[in-house]
Amino acid sequence: MVNGAPSVRALHLVDRFVHELVVALLNHGMHPPGSQLVRDGLRDVTATLRELLTEARVDGLALEIQGELLRAFGRDLIAASLQAGLLTGLCARSGVRSLTFARGLEPAEFGRFLAALFECGTPGADLPRALAAHGVRHVTAEVEPGTQARAGNTPRGLRGYRELTSFLHDNHIAAFRGEDLEVDRAQGVVEQAIDHIEREPSALLTLASYDDIDSFTVGHSVRVALLALHVARAAGVAQGDLVAIGTAALLHDIGKSRVPQEILFKRGRLDPDEWRLMAQHPRLGAEILLEQRNLDPRAIGAAFCHHMSPDGGGYPVPTLRFAPSEVSKLVRVCDVFEALTAARPYKRALTPVQAYAVMFASAHDFDPTWLRFFARTIGLYPLGTRVQLSTGAEACVVAHGPDPQRPVVRVAQGGPGQVPLAGTNLTIGDLVDGEPVRIAAVLGAGAERTEVAEVLRSLHCGGGTRAGHC
Amino acid sequence: MIRLDGGPRARRHRSRAEVERDSALPSGLFDCQEPMVEAALIDAAASVFLQKLGHPPVPDPDEPDVLPWQETVDEAAVASCLEVFAGLGDEPVPDLMAGLEDERIWVLIDLARHGTGVTRQRATYEVRELLRGLAARSGEKRALLRDLATQLAAIVGGGAAPVLFRALLLEARTALRCASPAGGGGEEPPW
């Protein structure tokens, strides 16, 4: 390792590597070893590792596991940690405190590493021995026998957020396999989310703003659920109904688990046949949910109706014409706002202001009352939005006041422009050094991949392998 | 027509605006990010054209090709958004619990028609049970029942309607009669 801090690109590649590792792990548990998805996943993760090691000019990547938090190059990997529950869980059970991935790791060997990791999913398992037994030479595990992995400086709400993503991961897999969903678990995770929102409204949404490298169904659904819960709370909905609404929003895209993955993760425009299959996901979702016992019926409606617009547009075209329920109308608004403001592998996010401009320009696509109430509640700068202040400091929106242009922000620790305000809360418009502080820019984390090759990949099936059935 | 002058960010904004304005995508495609793919494609194509013309795009030092990005707050966009916000007022929102039972019936009818295997049977059973339940709740849901009976009657009247629709029409008619005021005398069936 050369001296000095890793480049921004290297840090981005670490996030991508961990994400692809998690995807490969999920695929390993779901699909036959020789399947295209598994092979593509292994190829992607090892290619990213090579790129990362070259960029960082090191011979190996040491991934530290500190409780629920992953670290590399001495930094917390918050975005990667959000999706890495399965990985950290497996490591914790066998006392692994770090994994080192060395240059020369090839796809087949990476597959054997995953097999060894899965074998060691029981307490007291010996991962180093399993790695040796599987002939894995380019991954080494450092173990602290008999000790619990150290808890890292875990961000607030991380466990709650991961509970939500883990619930969705598991249920998407169950739906994919045609098994029963864990409906009873939904109530617990949604109640926990509501509790977080009540205690610290910005905590989960702040994490959600990091979660932009996911495979865009799980992270998307969690963010839609959080938005719906915020708006429903503001509308004065009672606790019991909040749980049902949160569950409905969380499961609204469950039908995508039955859309072929090569279509779901295709980068680029779908052809008419593919589109017909994709457009089935609301109906498939309603079918999946109808098969579940003890599920609140409003989840079925939200799954079916979240792409239907009030003027009869959208899909699916129902057998008989009808108007969606208020819950479904709200979920639709949250769904589109989230889709516009989230990063994707092939696009960066729109800022909330840009997203509102698009949505109000297409207002016939949404229930007008809910669109307006949503905008009023979520505001110009939604909770959790990361911004750059006119002082140069980075900050995160933590509360709203009566003036939508003057949210309360918490100034981030470290970095240029933060001193001496680091860690303090400011209301936009407050005087700092005699000048009213303002929001200069909205910050995000999502590459703008505008290279021709990348765009072409987005237009061809199989070009992208951001698999992971989620 | 996409203009090629300006920096990458300016071109991208123009491309995005062009695509959004010109897109003929149906509303259902709205959240599929197609306009963004198109914007990226146009941007890439513009770069290729510039290179072919011997004017390689000048790297923008403010815009690294990887994370993180930042989007300068566009004061005009904020002002325009605030104008919309100012007009919102404090209108009351509908009861979020409204319309759930109606929606369930409509969705079940769709699944009874288009669902597969056991789901179809279950949806058929549940919707018939719900309609029978409505028949017992005198005076409730007349608008729903009237709408349902009208749509079903139109389909059945057109001939070649599935047996399911005939059965549901019968249930809806019965429920509507029962749901009518004073035990069924007042409601004129919509068929």
Question: Which of A301, A318, A357 minimises the CB distance to B80?
Answer: A357
Partner-chain contact A375 B85, CB within 8 Å: yes
CA separation for the pair A235, A333 (Å, rounded):
15
Partner-chain contact B99 A344, CB within 8 Å: no
Q: Using CB atoms and an 8 Å cut-off, which of residues 124-153 of chain A contact chain B?
A: none
Question: Which of A241, A364, A444 minimises the CB distance to B68?
Answer: A444
CB distance from A443 to chain B under 8 Å? Answer: yes
Question: Which of B39, B100, B147 minimises the CB distance to A325?
Answer: B100
Q: Residue B29 pLDDT more than 50? A: no
Mean per-residue pLDDT, A93-101: 90
- The average confidence (pLDDT) of chain A is 80
CA separation for the pair A158, A167 (Å, rounded):
14
- Longest Cα–Cα distance of chain A, Å, equals 67
Mean per-residue pLDDT, A237-264: 88
Mean per-residue pLDDT, A92-99: 87
> Which residue in B has a C-alpha nearest to residue A287's C-alpha?
B119
Partner-chain contact B107 A315, CB within 8 Å: no
Q: What is the pLDDT of residues A35-94, one digit of tens each?
A: 777 888 899 899 999 999 999 999 999 999 988 888 998 888 877 787 777 788 888 888
CB distance from A323 to chain B under 8 Å? Answer: yes
Report chain B residues whose CB lies below 8 A from the CB of A268.
37
Residue B136 confidence class, pLDDT cut points 50, 70, 90: confident
Pairing mode, if any, of strands A394-399 and A408-411? antiparallel
Question: Which of A270, A287, A444 minimises the CB distance to B69?
Answer: A444
> ipTM score here?
0.74
Which is more confident, B100 or A364? B100
Question: Which of A11, A362, A405 minimises the CB distance to B30?
Answer: A362
The reported pLDDT for the residue numbered A355 is 84
Partner-chain contact B115 A322, CB within 8 Å: no
The reported pLDDT for the residue numbered A290 is 93
pTM equals 0.73
Angle at alpha carbon of residue A18, lines to A14 and A24, rounded to 5°: 140
Q: Chain centroid to CA B77: how far?
A: 26
Question: What is the number of other CB atoms lying within 10 angstroms of the CB of residue A461?
Answer: 14
The reported pLDDT for the residue numbered A287 is 95
Residues β-bridged to residue A64: A71, A98
- Nearest CA among A237, A154, A155, A235 for reference residue A190: A237
The reported pLDDT for the residue numbered A461 is 23
The reported pLDDT for the residue numbered A450 is 31
Q: H/E/C letters for each residue in chain B?
A: CCCCCCCHHHHHHHHHHHHHHHCCCCHHHHHHCHHHHHHHHHHHHHHHHHHHCCCCCCCCCCCCCCCCEEEECCHHHHHHHHHHHHCCCCCCCCCCCCCHHHHHHHHHHHHHHHCCHHHHHHHHHHHHHHHHHHHHCCCCCHHHHHHHHHHHHHHHHCCCCCHHHHHHHHHHHHHHHHHCHHHHCCCCCCC
Pairing mode, if any, of strands A96-102 and A435-436? unpaired
Residue-level length of chain B: 191
CA separation for the pair B138, B87 (Å, rounded):
42
Please, how many CA atoms are within 13 Å of residue A452, restricted to the half-sphere of its CB? 6
The reported pLDDT for the residue numbered A359 is 84
Which is more confident, A366 or B135? A366
Report chain B residues whose CB lies below 8 A from the CB of A324.
99, 103
Question: Which of B8, B95, B107 minimises the CB distance to A300?
Answer: B107
Share of chain A above pLDDT 90, in %: 27
Question: CA of B185 to nearest chain A CA: how many angstroms apart?
Answer: 27
- Nearest CA among A137, A136, A84, A146 for reference residue A113: A136
Lowest average pLDDT, out of A227-231, A340-344, B36-40, goes to: B36-40
Report chain A residues whose CB lies below 8 A from the CB of B74.
353
Report chain B residues whose CB lies below 8 A from the CB of A11.
67
Which is more confident, B184 or A441? A441
Q: A16, A290, A394: best mutation site toward chain B, by most B Cβ within 10 Å? A: A290
Pairing mode, if any, of strands A386-389 and A69-72? unpaired
Q: Residue B99 pLDDT more than 50? A: yes
- The average confidence (pLDDT) of chain B is 68
The reported pLDDT for the residue numbered B1 is 40
Residues β-bridged to residue A140: A100
Question: Which of B37, B80, B114 minimises the CB distance to A347?
Answer: B37
Residue B71 confidence class, pLDDT cut points 50, 70, 90: low
Q: Which residue has the tokens 């709205």?
A: B30
Q: Which residue has the tokens 């759930």?
A: B100
Partner-chain contact A442 B71, CB within 8 Å: yes
Mean per-residue pLDDT, A278-297: 90
Partner-chain contact B39 A347, CB within 8 Å: yes
Mean per-residue pLDDT, A341-361: 75
Report chain B residues whose CB lies below 8 A from the CB of A344.
33, 36
Residues β-bridged to residue A441: A388, B72
- Nearest CA among A262, A290, A298, A292 for reference residue A278: A262
Lowest average pLDDT, out of A49-53, A278-282, A461-465, B47-51, goes to: A461-465
Partner-chain contact A446 B84, CB within 8 Å: no
Q: What is the pLDDT of residues A303-339, one digit of tens each?
A: 999 999 887 788 898 989 999 999 999 999 999 888 8
The reported pLDDT for the residue numbered A4 is 62
The reported pLDDT for the residue numbered A268 is 67
> Which residue in B has a C-alpha nearest to residue A324's C-alpha?
B103
Residue B182 confidence class, pLDDT cut points 50, 70, 90: low
Mean per-residue pLDDT, A13-28: 83
Partner-chain contact B72 A440, CB within 8 Å: yes
> Which residue in A has a C-alpha nearest to residue B9's C-alpha?
A448
Q: A298, A320, A397: best mutation site toward chain B, by most B Cβ within 10 Å? A: A320
Q: Which two tokens stand for residue A3?
A: 């001296």
CA separation for the pair B64, B42 (Å, rounded):
19
The reported pLDDT for the residue numbered B138 is 62
